Amino acid sequence: MDKLKLLYVGEVSEKKGIRTLLNLMKEIDLKNVELTVIGDGNLVSEVVNTSLPITYRGPIWDRKELASIMAEHDVLMALSRRTSVWEELFGIVIIEALAMGLAVMASDHVGPKMILSEADCLGVYGEDDQHLIVEQIKTFLNVPGSLVHFQSLQRGIADSYRIDSIATNWLEVIEMRGNADEVV
């Protein structure tokens, strides 16, 4: 692997884990890792003014363009931090990244845990487990095939969120509801 390409997509803020990600970048071998940040928020100046190998792309609203960028990366980083009134719920960007074949590394918030539970929560980390995240990134860099294996274990998760799967699930609910009314 030439370089491990990490991707962050979302609000560029403390609660979405930007400072966590910047701190993590300081602990890894930067000659072999790149980070792309997509989004906007109050910590953009910290991202732009760092000496770390980060490419800041700003907000990207076009879904095809975002998919194209995702296809150029290896790992989506979704390291949100809880506040007194918030934690990450359902993150559509996680599903989009999985659908594009990226590995996902996320905080142990309710949304990412629910999504990644199909892979026994592979890629879910406690907010204060930065050392485990760094070790996993080092494994991706130093153990041939480890990234591909990680991605393969998460690969099928996005399938249950595809339109045809959702439509089938809704149809089953509607049919079940109709049958329940007949029984009463």
Is there a contact between 105 and 132 (Cβ–Cβ < 8 Å)? no
The pLDDT, as a whole number, for residue 107 is: 96
Element of type H or E holding 58: strand 54-58
Average pLDDT by stretches of 10, the chain with 184 residues: 91 96 88 95 96 94 95 97 93 92 96 90 92 95 95 87 76 74 53
Query: pTM here?
Result: 0.89
CB atoms within 10 A of CB 177: 9
Phi/psi of residue 88, each to 5°?
-65, 125
Domains of the chain (ranges; CATH) run: 4-158 (3.40.50.2000)
